[in-house]
Amino acid sequence: MIVKATVRPGSLTTQVTERLRNAILDAEFKLGEALSEDKLATALKVSRTPVREALTALQLQGLIHIQPQRGSFVFMPSVADLAELCEFRCIIEVQALRLCFAHSRKAMLAQMRSASSAMAAARAAKDPLASARADSAFHESLLGNCQNHYLTEAYRLASGKVSALRAHSSTANVRTAANVEHEQIIKAVARNDLPAAEAILTDHILKMRQRYEPKSRQSATPRTADRRRQADESIALLDD
């Protein structure tokens, strides 16, 4: 666990929350990693109170799992979690796509192309984190142009988890395949073919389960796998 002291003046809880959220999304923490309030407070040069409040806020975003008497852990998705996350994304992103076709298809298309180009450049530079960020930007182009703030707010409930999974679990092959599928979506959007764009996007999202599921299982040690089976929980408990 490596967290640099980059908390700036202002609301300490807000700053600590953002710093820890970025650490999870940028794979500075492992999925399932145990987080010590004392160590985080020392690293960020703050008291334990804003750290505790930040962890609670991140639990509401699904990024932290707090277990009474045991501690706080970075989320670890189960097979069921991944399946439900894919279903949720299909509902939100496909509807956002439809609204973009109705209201702002060209703006969405421009952002998609920019994100796809950035992802290709990141892959060429062998920069997985930049690739993951570009991947997220591609999908955020849907929500950013759908002109429905309820959909946008709903998407935020899961966007952090999805971004973190991209950073933690994507392989070079997965990133290459995702980029190809993005380009297929772009071509369908460019020719104003909504049914094709919907079908490709849906298939692309559903592939997330098979692409990220093996990694989520491999991240756990034998000891944490035993605990998960015994408690029927979807969190892996890893040592610092």
Q: What is the DSSP string of 80-129?
A: HHHHHHHHHHHHHHHHHHHHHHHH-HHHHHHHHHHHHHHHHHHHHTT-HH
Task: Confirm or reject CATH 1.20.120.530 for domain 79-217, answering yes or no.
Answer: yes
Whole-angstrom CA distances from 193 to 63, 185, 187, 189 are 36, 10, 9, 6
Q: pLDDT averaged over the chain?
A: 85
The CATH number assigned to the domain with range 12-76+219-231 reads: 1.10.10.10
pLDDT tens-digit series, residues 140-158: 999 999 999 999 999 998 9
Asked if the model's pLDDT at residue 9 lies above 70, the reply is no
Sheet bearing 64-67, strands edge to edge: 34-35, 71-74, 64-67
Alpha-carbon gap, residue 29 to 65, rounded angstroms: 13
| Residues 44/16, Cβ–Cβ less than 8 Å | yes
**What is the pTM (predicted TM-score) of this model?**
0.78
Range with the poorest average pLDDT among 50-59, 85-94, 154-163, 204-213: 204-213
Of 68, 58, 67, the closest CA to residue 29 belongs to 58
Helix (H, G, I), strand (E, B) or coil at 191: coil
Domain boundaries, the chain: 12-76+219-231, 79-217
195-218: average pLDDT: 82
